[in-house]
Amino acid sequence: MNGRPGRIRIIGGSLRNSRLEVPELAGLRPTSERVRETLFNWLAPMIEGARVLDLCAGTGALGIEALSRGAAAACFVEPDARAARTLRDNLVRLKVEGGEVVAADAQAFLGGAPRAFDLVFLDPPFALGLWSVLAERLEQGGWLAGRAWVYVESPREPVPALPAQWVLHREGRAGEVRFALYRRALP
């Protein structure tokens, strides 16, 4: 974790250098500053006005970073009640508009009424191995806009099986983590 324990920093946009409180929870693994900086450099041309889904949100750092950089709205899905409460508190404390926190399991959420998102952050807890299941639900369930972008953070190996319509745009590695940005191809 970056910064002092229990806090991470927003690295760009209107909330630059703001700190997010982070609860100490088993398995919570915030995306590193270095990876977030690289990712948002890749996303710079397409973030303005985007509708964002931060699935398996944890700290919400990815979605809050997107809002800080001009995304229109972000839906944060987080099953842990304490993490969801801390995320709501961070949004209120930082006076962030356009953020909606849904305290729900990602699979249950994706079983509900779909909304089309322009950008999805897919970073489930590594121990659960949910990348392929969640990716298929996103693709088949009407959750993705026509040419949506999907960010996937996973262990370095093996690379998760993802829908054929998701075309790799860019990828990187940081330690044992693989991070990749996909573009949904139109049929």
pLDDT mean across residues, the chain: 92
pLDDT grade, residue 29 (50/70/90)? confident
- Is 2 within the bounds of a domain? no
Q: Contact at 8 Å (CB) between 10 and 61?
A: yes
pLDDT of 103 over the 60 cut: yes
- Is 21 within the bounds of a domain? yes
pLDDT digits (tens, 9 = 90+) for 52-102: 999 999 999 999 999 999 999 999 999 999 999 999 999 999 999 999 999
% residues pLDDT > 70 (the chain): 96
Q: What is the mean pLDDT of residues 98-124?
A: 96
Q: Distance between CA 187 and CA 174 in Å, rounded?
A: 33
At residue 131, the pLDDT reads: 94
At residue 81, the pLDDT reads: 93
Q: What is the mean pLDDT of residues 169-184?
A: 95
Q: Which domain holds residue 80?
A: 7-184
Q: Distance between CA 60 and CA 179 in Å, rounded?
A: 17
Strand ranges of the sheet holding 99-102, from the earlier edge strand across to the other edge: 99-102, 73-77, 51-55, 117-122, 144-155, 177-184, 166-174
- Is 126 within the bounds of a domain? yes
Q: What is the mean pLDDT of residues 17-35?
A: 83
Q: State the DSSP H helix or E strand holding residue 29, giving kind and residue range, or none if neither.
A: none
Which residues are 174's β-sheet partners?
Answer: 177
Q: What is the mean pLDDT of residues 123-127?
A: 86
Helices 33-43 and 61-68: crossing angle in degrees, nearest 10, is: 40
Count how many domains the chain has. 1
Q: What is the mean pLDDT of residues 110-138?
A: 94
At residue 5, the pLDDT reads: 44
Q: Contact at 8 Å (CB) between 61 and 23?
A: no
Q: Contact at 8 Å (CB) between 15 and 5?
A: no
Domain containing residue 166: CATH number:
3.40.50.150
- Is 13 within the bounds of a domain? yes
Sign of CA dihedral 79, 85, 87, 92: positive
- Is 1 within the bounds of a domain? no
Q: What is the pTM of this model?
A: 0.93
Kindly state the DSSP code that residue 46 receives in the 8-state scheme. G
